[in-house]
């Protein structure tokens, strides 16, 4: 698995501590969105439709620190928008690393060449490059030519400077298992430190509603991809249990509290992809959200969701409870028949 040993150890200790305390609703990853502004207009994005007064907002360095400390999650993912548009992003990252948080800085790569000198390599910092497929597929999804080639150059530059680099790939309708497998081979040849993947979820705010997958389509696609990947040693930045879930072998419920989201609008309820309002504090989010209302079988909007922000926390918790099963999955790989 493409997750640093120090992160695995810290995360395991954290989950065990929460379990022994009897805590059911605890966070693993804070989705910290200091801004919604972006330099791309990807067709599957639900953030770019906000009015100008929202798009121009920024969380301050102190607001970011306060959110991280209030939440307490060991991992902080910083998506957006494009985080590198935030003038204080290096300071935000520096402060979170001081607090021994594992930071995943999500970026489309366009601004990395101009700002990379403001960051220092650290085992606590990972650049997460958005790449949804080979050149033709990715540039079509982000609605701009040349973005794929730039991202590949950025990955090579970051690796040459000693940074950890992973990729984030969302699979949309029209993607084939063969194309995905070829793409994953290509990414591994770049010597990246891991790959994150997910099926596109048709959340209401997205401008393009025609490219999303149903749950059955997602499972079929992932099973075909994993079958083609047998013996290839692809490094996914996921628990083996989550990969098993994507292949349809695990019947997990969503844990929306596992990846709480703090943005310029507040703490988003109930999760990163559903917008049922915002609250002013993490405590209010956790204590005043009726978690049983959401998830597959409870909310029709969730029917086709298999996104890692909801199901990875469930899978990670399961892996701690069933270490032998996890070892077997890691050894033999996902069962795809």
Question: Edge-to-edge, what's the strand order for the sheet holding 195-199?
Answer: 195-199, 164-171, 125-130, 102-107, 75-78, 29-32, 261-263, 266-270, 275-279
131: Cβ–Cβ under 8 A, 6 or more apart, which residues? 138, 148, 151, 167, 168, 169, 183, 187
Least confident of 150-164, 187-201, 233-247, 259-273: 187-201
Per-residue model confidence (pLDDT) at position 4: 81
pLDDT at 241 over 80: yes
Q: What is the mean pLDDT of the segment spanning 193-216? A: 69
276-318 tens-digit pLDDT: 899 999 999 999 999 999 988 899 988 888 988 899 999 988 8
Q: DSSP assignment, residue 254?
A: P
Q: How confident is the model at residue 99 (pLDDT cuts 50, 70, 90)?
A: very high
pLDDT at 231 over 90: no
Q: Which one, of 40, 45, 9, 13, lies nearest residue 26 by Cα?
A: 13
Question: 150 or 305: whose pLDDT is higher?
Answer: 150
253: Cβ–Cβ under 8 A, 6 or more apart, which residues? 295, 296, 314
CB–CB of 191/294 below 8 Å? Answer: no
pLDDT at 79 over 80: yes
Q: How confident is the model at residue 224 (pLDDT cuts 50, 70, 90)?
A: very high
Alpha carbon distance 171, 201 (integer Å): 9
Q: What is the mean pLDDT of the segment spanning 308-329? A: 87
Per-residue model confidence (pLDDT) at position 44: 67
pLDDT at 37 over 60: yes
Q: How confident is the model at residue 16 (pLDDT cuts 50, 70, 90)?
A: confident
pLDDT at 51 over 60: yes
CA distances from 96 to 39, 66, 99, 130 (A): 25, 10, 5, 22
CB–CB of 174/133 below 8 Å? Answer: no
pLDDT at 90 over 60: yes
Q: What is the CA radius of gyration of the chain?
A: 19
Per-residue model confidence (pLDDT) at position 45: 72
Q: Round the average pLDDT of the chain to a whole number and report it.
A: 90
Per-residue model confidence (pLDDT) at position 2: 62
Highest mean pLDDT among 30-39, 152-161, 264-273: 152-161
Question: 112 or 173: whose pLDDT is higher?
Answer: 112
Per-residue model confidence (pLDDT) at position 274: 85
Tokens of 18: 């929460």
| pTM of the predicted protein model | 0.92
153-200 tens-digit pLDDT: 999 999 999 999 999 998 887 789 999 999 999 999 999 999 998 776
pLDDT at 227 over 90: yes
Per-residue model confidence (pLDDT) at position 248: 94
Judged by DSSP in three states, 74 sits in coil
Tokens of 279: 């609250």
pLDDT at 129 over 70: yes
- Residue 128: count of CB within 10 angstroms of its CB: 21
Q: What is the DSSP string of 137-181?
A: HHHHHHT-TTHHHHHHHHHHHHHHTT-EEEEEEEEPTT--HHHHH
Q: How confident is the model at residue 202 (pLDDT cuts 50, 70, 90)?
A: low
Please write down the HEC assignment for all residues of 82-145. CHHHCCCHHHHHHHHHHCCCEEEEEECCCCHHHHHHHCCCCCCEEEEEECCCCHHHHHHHHCCC
Q: How confident is the model at residue 46 (pLDDT cuts 50, 70, 90)?
A: low
Q: How confident is the model at residue 124 (pLDDT cuts 50, 70, 90)?
A: very high
Alpha carbon distance 254, 263 (integer Å): 21
Alpha carbon distance 127, 102 (integer Å): 11
Helices (H) and strands (E) in the chain, counts: 13, 9
Q: What is the mean pLDDT of the segment spanning 111-115? A: 97
Question: 281 or 326: whose pLDDT is higher?
Answer: 281
């Amino acid at each position: 698995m493409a997750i640093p040993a120090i992160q695995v150890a810290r995360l395991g200790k954290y989950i065990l501590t929460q379990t022994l305390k009897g805590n059911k609703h605890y966070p693993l990853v804070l989705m910290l969105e200091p801004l919604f502004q972006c330099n791309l207009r990807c067709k599957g994005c639900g953030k770019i439709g906000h009015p100008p007064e929202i798009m121009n907002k920024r969380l301050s360095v102190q607001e970011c620190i306060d959110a991280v400390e209030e939440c307490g999650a060991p991992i902080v993912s910083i998506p957006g928008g494009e985080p590198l548009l935030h003038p204080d992003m290096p300071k935000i990252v520096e402060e979170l690393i001081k607090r021994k948080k594992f930071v995943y800085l999500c970026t489309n790569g366009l601004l990395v060449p101009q700002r990379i000198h403001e960051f220092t390599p650290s085992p606590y910092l990972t650049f997460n490059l958005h790449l949804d497929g080979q050149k033709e597929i990715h540039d079509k999804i982000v609605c701009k030519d040349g973005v794929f080639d730039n991202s590949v150059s950025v990955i090579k530059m970051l690796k040459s400077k000693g940074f950890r680099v992973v990729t984030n790939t969302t699979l949309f309708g029209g993607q084939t298992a063969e194309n995905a497998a070829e793409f994953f081979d290509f990414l591994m040849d770049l010597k990246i430190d891991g790959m994150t993947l997910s099926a596109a979820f048709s959340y209401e705010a997205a401008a393009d509603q025609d490219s999303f997958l149903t749950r059955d389509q997602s499972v079929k696609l992932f099973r075909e991809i994993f079958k083609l990947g047998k013996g290839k040693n692809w490094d996914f930045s996921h628990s083996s249990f989550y990969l098993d879930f994507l292949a349809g072998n695990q019947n997990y419920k969503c844990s929306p509290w596992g990846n709480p989201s703090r943005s310029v609008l507040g703490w988003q309820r109930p999760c990163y992809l559903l917008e049922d309002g915002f609250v002013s504090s993490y405590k209010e989010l956790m204590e005043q959200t009726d978690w049983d209302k959401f998830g597959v079988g409870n909310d029709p909007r969730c029917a086709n969701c298999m996104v890692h922000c909801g199901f990875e926390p469930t899978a990670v918790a399961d892996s701690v409870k069933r270490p032998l099963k996890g070892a077997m999955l890691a050894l033999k790989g996902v069962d795809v028949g």
